[in-house]
Amino acid sequence: MKSPEETVEDTPNAQDATGHASDRPTSVESWIRGVVLIEKTVAGVFLMLIVLSMGTQVFARYVFDAPFQWSEELARLALIWMTFVSATFVLADSQHIAVDMLPNRLGARGRFWVECLGHTVVAGACLLLLIGSVKFVWYVGAVESPALGVPRSWWYGAGLMGLFLMALHSLLNLFQVCRTGSPSPRETSIEDDGFHLEMEQQQ
């Protein structure tokens, strides 16, 4: 028969001796981390594709004097997809630029409601833009790009994918905040001493 201490240690969401929750990730957190890892990998692949296509173009232009017609278009397509895919995992980590003057002046309860409102607004805006853009992306699918000959829906589809994933991450972040009942922990900002020194000298 197990002792009370062993029973507490075997509980997944048990608290430690200091009263803090266990750092063991839940199934939702593990799933989110997996999705973010896939998004970062895809963004890295698009980045490598940009570097390779532009490097090949420079080599073909200045060595063989015969530049490719498709390399610039391929790099532009990869850049569009990389931008929207990168925006999704940046949103998942709450690393987008934000004005936090109001949350910093509120207590934990106030920050909780502000964060819930923020996730709800972002998810709603992304879903509205997603629904409103589907018809347009379907319409431009009949037009092909001049060099690659791929449908234009491949280009504008990056926006649809980005909006869908950002809405998904916003809803998942909202679920996580509501599940814990407290605002997400905020990282301590690292201030630039040189910048503050320059500002003091100007004053």
Q: Would you write out the chain's pLDDT as a tens digit for each of its 203 residues?
A: 444 444 444 444 444 443 444 455 567 677 778 888 888 999 999 999 999 988 888 888 787 777 777 888 888 899 999 999 999 988 888 777 777 777 777 777 888 888 888 889 989 999 999 988 888 888 877 777 777 778 888 888 888 999 999 999 888 888 888 877 766 666 544 444 444 445 555 65
Q: Which residue has the tokens 């090949």?
A: 56
* pLDDT of amino acid 13: 45
Q: 185 φ, ψ to 5°?
A: -65, 135
Q: Are 153 and 138 in contact (CB under 8 A)?
A: yes
CA–CA gap between residue 165 and residue 160 (Å, rounded): 9
CA dist 163 and 25 (Å) reads: 26
C-alpha span between 91 and 117 (Å, rounded): 15
**Residue 102 near residue 114 (C-beta atoms within 8 A):** yes
Q: What is the pLDDT of residue 44?
A: 92
For residue 186, the model assigns a pLDDT of 60
